[in-house]
Amino acid sequence: MLLAIDCGNTNTVFAVYDGDTKFREWRAASKSGRTADEMGVWLIQLMALKGLRPESITEAIIASVVPAAVYDLRLLCHTYFSAPPLVIGDPDVDLGLRVLVDRPEEVGADRLVNTVAAHTTYKGPLIVIDFGTATTFDVVDADGNYCGGVIAPGVNLSLEALHMAAAQLPRVAIGRPRSVIGKGTVSAMRSGIYLGYVSMIEGLTARIQQEFGAAMTVVATGGLASLFTEATDVIHHLDNDLTLRGLLQIHRRNAAQRTHTRSDHGSVHMT
């Protein structure tokens, strides 16, 4: 079985795949300083509740946008599962795409993994919107190459900043407002955040397509994607498993290459 780990700024997702089937998924807060032992004890207990033993995990892959977490995630895979992981961003990991930006090393691992999964599933030029700690818009050409994108503050980050910077503005839960014009502070804040983000989605997708020069399929993923997908018709697909599926596809690609390499090295040529 494969352990796929998606470490974001807010949450870390651990998913176990049996072939192409996701067996189970668990989510934890991405707390700074959490050790491999802490994660190992927590994860193995949850796996045991589903009848899954550590030795069932034979392979692992990691995508992390938190550099400080990578060491302990590697150690977790080595120590508790005896499964040396592939890590997105390592030079020996083949993603099967080109990163067509000025500084490829700066592109977040999750954005590249999303690119792989989106291209495999939807084809054509794409815009992938990921509603995470930041809201990102990633541009994928028809060949599956990463062409750049846009980074905006995430919805919850914007709400927290508004509360912290303005003494009279409370914390509010994100939700679809009943009307655009708020009749009170809370309703006005909800309208501004929610409909402001809808307007940003619609405006940025239109501008990206105009600059790219072609109509594009828009795919949404991330924790709040469903909340905004229902409010606009510019999003064509909601795909909450995009990142994990991309990790599965990248692992499969690299595993096949390793098998092919071993086969080549082990072959005997006779004359």
CA 163 to CA 229: how far, in whole Å?
A: 25
Is 94 marked within a binding site?
no
Provide the 8-state DSSP code for 55: G
- Annotation-wise, does 205 bind a ligand? no
- Write the burial class of residue 60 (CB in 10 Å: 0-12 exposed, 13-18 middle, 19+ buried): buried
Q: Catalytic: 110?
A: yes
Instruction: Check if the beta carbon of residue 64 is closer than 8 Å to that of residue 76.
Output: no
147 is in an annotated binding site: no
Q: Is-contact 147 100, C-beta < 8 A?
A: yes
Tell whether residue 133 is among the known ligand binding residues: yes
Which segments of 85-151 does DSSP mark as H helices, in order? 109-122
Three-class secondary structure of residue 125 per DSSP: coil
Out of 72, 110, 141, 239, pick the active-site residue: 110
* E strand spans, 65-223: 86-87, 126-131, 134-140, 146-153, 217-222
- Per the annotation, does 111 bind a ligand? yes
58 in a known ligand binding site: no
The pairing of beta strand 217-222 with beta strand 126-131: parallel
- 10 among annotated binding-site residues: yes
Q: Is 110 annotated as a binding residue?
A: yes
Q: Does residue 13 have a known ligand-binding role?
A: yes
Residues designated as active site: 110
Residues making up the binding site for K(+)? 130
Residues making up the binding site? 6-13, 108-111, 130, 133, 185
Residues making up the binding site for substrate? 108-111, 185
